């Protein structure tokens, strides 16, 4: 690929993704991002839950792989909730406006998720099914704690 084409391509990529520059995020972009993030987390959470509940046979490598992915993106929840993103122009959101009235608590809950998700990925390296199960439940509790308070039923 010649230099000019590469520059044009990178510019296009940057322009299309600058929409997501966290210091000037449009509400619709933040909503789209956080919904995408939750979808990816859920996609990886599914196999873990299936193994924990015995709906799928335990596979230590698979468990660790999905747990690591969740951990890697678990600290990026909070950036999807900039001020003003309680409403979008074209995107609907399940986020309650209360988030921004209780920002410290919301941030603490987001941090809890990150902490427990990171622990799950670390524990999963030891291939101990019982310990994975115990820690999985702790992660699930952090999801529930935040969703119960700050997510509306759509």
Contact with a second copy (CB under 8 A) among 28, 68, 86, 91 = 68
Tally of residues, the chain: 154
Query: Shortest gap between Cβ of 98 and a second copy (angstroms)?
Result: 21
Choose between 83 and 144: whose C-beta lies nearer to a second copy: 144
Task: Return the range that interacts with a second copy (CB under 8 A); candidates 86-94, 97-105, 109-117, 141-149.
Answer: 141-149
**Beta carbons of 86 and 95 less than 8 angstroms apart:** yes
DSSP three-state, residue 151: strand
- DSSP for 93-127 reads --B-GGGGGSHHHHHHHHHHHHHHHHHHHHHHTT-
The DSSP H or E segment spanning 43 is helix 27-52
Contact with a second copy (CB under 8 A) among 26, 58, 60, 73 = 73
- Nearest of 104, 105, 99 to residue 27 by alpha carbon: 99
Contact with a second copy (CB under 8 A) among 4, 17, 67, 142 = 17
If one counts every other C-beta atom within 10 angstroms of the C-beta of residue 99, the result is 21
Task: Return the range that interacts with a second copy (CB under 8 A); candidates 98-106, 112-120, 122-130, 138-146.
Answer: 138-146
Contact residues toward a second copy (CB under 8 A) are 1, 6, 9-11, 13-14, 16-22, 32-33, 35-40, 42-47, 49-50, 52-53, 55-56, 68-69, 71-73, 76, 137, 140-141, 143-144
């Amino acid at each position: 690929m010649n230099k000019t084409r590469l520059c044009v391509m990178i510019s296009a990529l940057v322009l299309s993704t600058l929409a997501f520059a966290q210091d000037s995020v449009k509400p619709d972009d933040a909503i789209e991002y956080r919904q995408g993030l939750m979808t990816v987390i859920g996609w990886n959470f599914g196999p873990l839950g299936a193994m924990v509940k015995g709906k799928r046979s335990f596979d230590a490598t698979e468990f660790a792989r999905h747990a690591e992915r969740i951990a890697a993106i678990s600290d990026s929840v909070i950036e999807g909730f900039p001020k003003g993103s309680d409403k979008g122009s074209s995107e609907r959101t399940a986020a309650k406006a209360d988030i921004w009235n209780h920002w410290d608590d919301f941030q603490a809950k987001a941090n809890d998720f990150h902490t427990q998700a990171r622990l799950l990925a670390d524990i999963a390296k030891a291939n101990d099914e019982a310990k994975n199960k115990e820690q999985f439940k702790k992660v699930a509790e952090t999801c529930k704690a935040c969703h119960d308070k700050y997510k509306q039923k759509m």
